[in-house]
Amino acid sequence: MTQKSFIIAFVLIILLIYSCDKDVSVTPPDMPPPDGVLFVNTFPDSFKIFLDGKYRIRITPDSIKWLETGNYLVTLKKDFFIDTTFSVNVNEGKTTQEFIDFSINPRFRGHLSVEANPADVQIFINDSIVAQQTPAAIRNLMPGIYKVTVKKTDYEDKILFVTITSSKTSKVNTALIDTTVWDYYNTSNSSIPTNSFTALVIDHNNKLWLGSRTGGYSFDGLLILMVIIENGLLLPGVSVWQIILLCFRIGRQSIMVFQQTL
């Protein structure tokens, strides 16, 4: 063996001995993710689920996964309901189930007061008849939006949509139109295009004109004709010499007279 080869072999032996004595670093294996599961169900459904104050983008019934063992605060929220919060303990490797029935606790229900003129009017809620007549207090309704209809013989039916909220009383106070005294027209029983008019107009021929946010109209009790208005004036072709504009406001009536030659 030459001197050069001996030196190379000696260096390799030294490096091998040094590497055997050096500590070797080994990365520990990854820990498995937490596998606790919380399943929340409610009646009624569609409550938003918050966990420790954070919305988990879940609505009931649904599960929240990958939870560590521990105690959590669950808050359930839904429109018209009082928020409810409770504590729940979750264990890894298990599914914890919670069911909340909001119909059992009366504090989650709301109430409805109905008054009408005239009195003794029949009440319908979501098209189902109620045993009471006005004035009436209807208690313990589940929160939500209800269709309330009041009816009485010889009077026009009145339909309203009422929001019921937990622990609160929603009030309805309405007046019915006496159809034995008034000829009552609306979009259901005539050709008028809207139920909201802001003015009445009567010309020298005793024709009735109506004003609304959608335009002007003439009405003979059966048919309605839209009148085009430009720059605040009736277009040529409409023969009106004197227009009496009756603007009805709450508690008073004002009369304005316009002279116009077409």
Record the pTM.
Answer: 0.66
Are residues 134 and 159 both part of a single domain? yes
Are residues 118 and 70 both part of a single domain? no
- Is 181 inside any structural domain? no
Instruction: Report pLDDT for 240.
Output: 36
Confidence of residue 187 (pLDDT cuts 50, 70, 90): confident
Residue-number span of the structural domain to which 85 is assigned: 36-101
Are residues 90 and 129 both part of a single domain? no
Instruction: Report pLDDT for 254.
Output: 30
Q: What sign for the dihedral angle of Cα 156, 162, 164, 168?
A: negative
- Is 131 inside any structural domain? yes
Percent of the chain with pLDDT over 90: 52
Are residues 144 and 96 both part of a single domain? no
In one letter, which amino acid is 216?
A: G
Q: Is the pLDDT of residue 221 over 80?
A: no
Instruction: Report pLDDT for 130.
Output: 93
Any idea what the CATH number is for the domain that residue 131 is in?
2.60.40.1120
Residue 143 corresponds to which tokens in the numbers above? Answer: 């929160």
User: 13-27, 99-113, 200-214, 239-253: which has the minimum mean pLDDT?
Assistant: 239-253
- Is 18 inside any structural domain? no
Are residues 69 and 97 both part of a single domain? yes
- Is 190 inside any structural domain? no
For the stretch 48-87, pLDDT in tens is 999 999 999 999 999 999 999 999 999 999 999 999 999 9
Are residues 170 and 118 both part of a single domain? yes
Q: What share of the chain is helix, strand, coil (3-state, %, to 5)?
A: 10, 50, 40
Instruction: Report the candidate in 109, 108, 112 with the shortest Cα–Cα distance to residue 124.
Output: 112
Confidence of residue 251 (pLDDT cuts 50, 70, 90): very low
Of 56, 82, 101, the domain-final residue: 101
Are residues 97 and 128 both part of a single domain? no
Nearest-angstrom CA–CA distance, 113 and 25: 77
Q: Bridge partners of 113?
A: 137, 171
Of 101, 122, 148, the domain-final residue: 101
For the stretch 97-155, pLDDT in tens is 999 999 999 999 999 999 999 999 999 999 999 989 999 999 999 999 999 999 999 99
Domain count, the chain: 3
- Is 3 inside any structural domain? no
Are residues 124 and 66 both part of a single domain? no
- Is 26 inside any structural domain? no
Is the omega angle on the peptide bond into residue 34 within 30 degrees of 0, that is, cis?
A: no
Instruction: Report pLDDT for 223.
Output: 47
- If you average pLDDT over each of 149-158, 234-243, 247-256, which comes out highest? 149-158
Q: Could you tell me which residue, 178 or 236, shows the higher pLDDT?
A: 178
Are residues 82 and 121 both part of a single domain? no
Of 69, 101, 133, the domain-final residue: 101
- Is 10 inside any structural domain? no
